[in-house]
A and B are shown apart, each in its own frame.
Chain A
Amino acid sequence: MRILKFIICLTITFSTNSFSSPIESSKLFTYPEAFDFKISPDGGLISAIKQDDKKRELLFIDTESNLIEMVLNIGLDVRLLSYHWLNDEQLILLAQYESTRMYLVATISGKKVKLKASKASGYLIDVLSHEPDKILFARNTRGQYYRIYVVSIEEFIDNSFSDATEVLHNGENISRFSFDQRSQRIITQTYDKETKVLSIKSLPISGGKWRLLLEKNVEDIEFSLAAILSSEYVTVLTNQETDKVALQKYNIKKQKLEEVIYEHPKYDLKEASYNREGKLLSVVYEELGLMRREYFNPVGKQMGKQLSQLFPGKEYFLVDYSKDFSKSVLKVQGATLPGDYFTFDAKRAQLRPLLLAYPQLENEKLYSSKAFTVMTSDKDEVEAFLTLADNELDHKTLLVMPHGGPIGIKESDRYNSQVQYFVSRGFSVLRVNFRGSRGFGKKFKNRGVGEFGKLIERDISTVVEQVISKYKFDKMCSVGASYGGYSSVMLAIKHPEKYDCVVGAMGIYDLLLAFNHNNYVAQEKNRKPIENVIGKYDPNLKDTSPVYLASKLKAPILLIAGIEDQTAVFEHTHRLEYMLKKNKKPVETMYYENTGHGHYSWSGDRHEAAITYDFLMRTLNLTEPSPKSLSASARKAIATDYAIIADKFWFEDNVENDKDKSLEFYRKAAEYEEPRAMFNVGAFYHSGDQVTKDISKAITYYRKAANLDYAKAHSRLGRMYMEGEHLDVNWEKAKEHLEKALNLDDTPENYFRLARFDCTAPGKMRNIKRCLASMNLDRFERRSKRQFNRAINGLRSATPWILSETKFNEVQREKFDKILNMAFELNEMDVSIDSKRVGAFEFIEGVGYGVKDEYKTISNGPLVKHSEKDNYYYGMIFEVDIPGINSYRDKVGIAARWTQNMKDGTKKYPNATVLYGAPKGEWKLIRKFDDFEGGNSVTLELFDLKGKPIFKETFIIKS
């Protein structure tokens, strides 16, 4: 068979090296790097979006050479929401910048891609593959009203619809349309939430009247359109008359279901495919956690057989195909493969690897699951997935992970970042599709309703019993989120002898509260959605609520919650914490502010995984792997976990700060040679926070981090050598460190620190040309808005130094002015100050409606008394004075530098910045007393942006 050629290509793909080690969480909990693959109608080019921290691009890959032919740089500020091939040379892109959405047409010419924006408002319904120069577009006319047009691409770009064919004049209340290629009909689907009626209508693209295809009350059933077969029949996927979601014929005229075309004995159908002639090609269902496609034509059957042999234990599907089906993009995925894309050339029967969705995992060992079924005592079959930690870190510990929901959710055997995280750290994971899970029919799903703490946990325990009878585990914990959080606690309450610890995240723990947690859900009319899951409201639900069973929990527990959670409201977790403490049970908590029923960013998932890992290791008294026994990437993985925990305890984010814990975890991370953690431990010694100030230790940690190529450590050491802070001024060493920092990480901060060096270094070391080049803001504007803003901050820090110590020639000065103007959009540089208050101030926060904040003067003049109070400051509050410029639209700037005059005659420079904005109201240059480190005095200098000194005062701080 020609198809055997596939194997040669694939052997190469899967023969990569794998290391058995903890996988760094940032590699697991993240978006795919490559996604949204499409192929041009002629099959010549494959396109895909590729993104990482520094860039977002649309790639074009030649299907003959398999090489990247062109790259369209989208930039990090723009999101590409969707895109489609219009014809062999053009694509339509829907992009979003901030809150503005816009359609763009990309035209390929030679090896270049040119973009043209369209001002048309509305949305693309279809690219009309039979008319390559036209699209079907729903044009927004008045609010929610749309007109549907077949419009040429040129007219669409020009937003000129006068010559376009109007298919529908008034879309009225219909908000979304789609297009069925096979029947050449526009489809609209509406669902009335009040009556629960689903209504699907169609309209020929050639015009005419809407025709009702089906109208049905779909309350509590599955019902979706599969295909339009003729003017008399459609097919639907439904379980109205069957236990499983089946493919069934639907008579349009009679509005009635007719014969069942296909029903799987065990699984709900997910999809059915037809050819252009309306012949059924295949159906799709999920078996043991993976999608299975059953073909009905010989070609499909043969192809399916071959692909199943090539990709055992994985699922595969065609992502897109050329117009003649000769070339297509195939995606393959499974537990150990988060997504691998291939080009499939049907004529040559050739399959070639394209791109990996997660290339960062290519060299990591991912763990496969054992998928199996277990018979319950009442003769139902439940599926389960066991992922064993068969690696050198194996802690002989089983984590039982119940899924959320519990109704209508299911576990799969696809790549699961959480499972891979824990298994790669030595924990085995068991997941169960208990009754209530979806995909196994109506009865199976409904059997789980109202079975909180009863049948569901019995199902899980039945599987656990089977697993522990076959495999040896020393310890066992239950870990879950949402319903999984509830279930984890209930499992440990019901089987105290079996579970050694519990982690419950964002769970519901008082089933009665679920009916009463706010004024809306407490109303009878709003109870149905809750009853569909928990069952009827009944005071006896107390008997299956962890809050009221807290005294029975023996295992130590970690409770995790989002304070803004509106699904499992925070009160559930707080109640359980209260009751556990009241019962003197060991409980730890991690509460996330500004977080709902799940994290808004991957950093939250990484942190949650890290604190769970730390809890498991401590609670189960497991031996941490010694840094020396681990590979570099494994060390980094463990170190990063601890550094992530430390960060949240330190930075002003969504976790309550605990600086002692922060230092503790940075130290742990530093033990695993994490350079950023080493740098931060050094910073603790530098500032004297949480430890006795020790500059020598600080510098030692900075040097260790620098030796491990941590750019910020080089930058810090470079600045200290430049300013003579705790180190003798050494411009050569400063240069070496600052250049290394930039080489390692070309951040705006590193560019501007080197710029400051180049503009202010003595003698021949001064390099004004490179200084000005480093400050080129265009470089950062091209990268992203965020990078540009960081560059402005870098410029603000460098400017006071440059203004006070650099003599530019006229050309250089002009270039520098241009940079300042680009950053600060200045109207005037010649600025003086007025109405100044110099002295000490107390900040009084305005509390309540209409009460403003105030800085009250405590003492006038540069002689100020030291204060421990957090709201006391010293410095200057003033107004800026520029004759003729005094509106909110104007912008001016002032450079300021603080210098601390130390007792030993040295100087420290706690802050240098540029203040800029409208010359209205008060400007402040003030500092807290706790920044003052017992020097002799502190000097404040101000310059206008031409470099002219405009103010200088030395503050004497009395104790």
Chain B
Amino acid sequence: MQVFLVRIFLIFSIVLITSCASKLKKLSEDKDIQLTGDSGYVLIGIDTNRDLYKILLDGPRRIELSSADLAEGESYILSQLEAGEYSVDRLYVSNYMYYKFDNDDNFRFVVKPGTINYVGHLNIVTRGFWYPTSYLRLDNRSSQSLVFMEDKFPSILRSRMLIYGGPGEDAFYSYIDNGKGDK
């Protein structure tokens, strides 16, 4: 097996070009909301060894994960999001330095309407101070995310189907949902 270093483009910039991105609003209450038309829940895991400035996602809408949700350690963002295919576009290590993601590296996920879409854990390891280098992966931690939902959002979990929307295929949630695990 391999350890992957992501191919990234390190760009210095002082130009703010993200003003059109809307911030992803993190849900805190375990109450199933009336999902508007073509939208679903998105569950994103973040695992970073350093506080980050922001992450931009491209998709039906341009989305920003802000610094409040990108603190050092492991955390989750559960939010409502318009259905469609998204990709991770940029990671801002600080307010003046960002990485542009290589689309060949499959930093993509799908949100389906009416469901809870676990789309993976953005695992970011950053080393160095003046010229930081980041190692990035979109990990599948489905069972750990399921435990998070059972623990923090049991009501929403009961109301909606949890599906995997991250890179690749995963039969785990559908297996659980079919109740086979209870036998």
Q: Spell out A's residues near B (CB within 8 Å).
A: 510, 512-513, 515-523, 526, 529-530, 539, 542, 547-548, 550-551, 566-571, 574-575, 578-579, 582-583, 597, 847-851
Contacts and interface: CB of A to CB of B under 8 A. Distances in A.
User: Which of A521, A539, A551 has the most C-beta atoms of chain B within 10 angstroms of its own C-beta?
Assistant: A521
A912 to B, nearest CB: 33
A320 to B, nearest CB: 35
A575 B143 contact: yes
B183 A551 contact: yes
Contacts of B170: 512-513, 516
Contacts of B142: 571, 575
Contacts of A849: 51-53, 67, 70-71, 94-95
A516 B170 CA distance: 7
24 contacts: A512-B169, A513-B172, A515-B168, A518-B4, A518-B123, A518-B138, A518-B140, A519-B168, A547-B172, A550-B181, A551-B181, A566-B4, A567-B1, A569-B139, A574-B141, A574-B143, A578-B146, A582-B176, A582-B182, A583-B181, A847-B71, A848-B67, A850-B67, A851-B51
Contacts of A542: 171, 175
B118 to A, nearest CB: 12
A192 B67 CA distance: 42
- 10 smallest CB-CB distances across A and B, nearest first, come from A522-B168, A516-B168, A849-B67, A519-B138, A519-B167, A519-B106, A567-B1, A522-B167, A849-B51, A575-B143
Contacts of A521: 2, 168
Contacts of B107: 519
A112 B140 CA distance: 60
Contacts of A523: 106, 167
Interface string B129-159: 0000000011111111011000000000000
A144 B9 CA distance: 22
Contacts of B53: 849-850
B166 interface: yes
A510 B172 CA distance: 9
Nearest to B138: A519
Contacts of B181: 550-551, 579, 582-583
Interface string B1-13: 1111000000000
A375 to B, nearest CB: 33
Contacts of A515: 168
B31 to A, nearest CB: 25
Interface residues of B, number: 42
A583 B141 CA distance: 20
Nearest to B172: A575
Contacts of A510: 172
Nearest to A571: B141
B108 to A, nearest CB: 8
Contacts of A568: 1
A642 to B, nearest CB: 31
A519 B103 CA distance: 11
A522 B4 CA distance: 12
B144 A571 contact: yes
B17 interface: no
B183 A518 contact: no
Contacts of A517: 139-140
Given A578-B146, A847-B71, A850-B51, A548 B180 contact: yes
B85 interface: no
A566 B105 contact: no
Given A518-B139, A579-B181, A848 B68 contact: yes
Contacts of A851: 51
Given A513-B140, A518-B139, A519-B120, A548 B105 contact: no
A170 B146 CA distance: 57
User: Which of A519, A551, A579 has the most C-beta atoms of chain B within 10 angstroms of its own C-beta?
Assistant: A519
Contacts of B168: 515-516, 519, 521-522
Contacts of B141: 570-571, 574
B51 A539 contact: no
A519 B166 contact: yes
User: Which of A513, A547, A850 has the most C-beta atoms of chain B within 10 angstroms of its own C-beta?
Assistant: A513
A568 B108 CA distance: 23
A539 B107 CA distance: 23
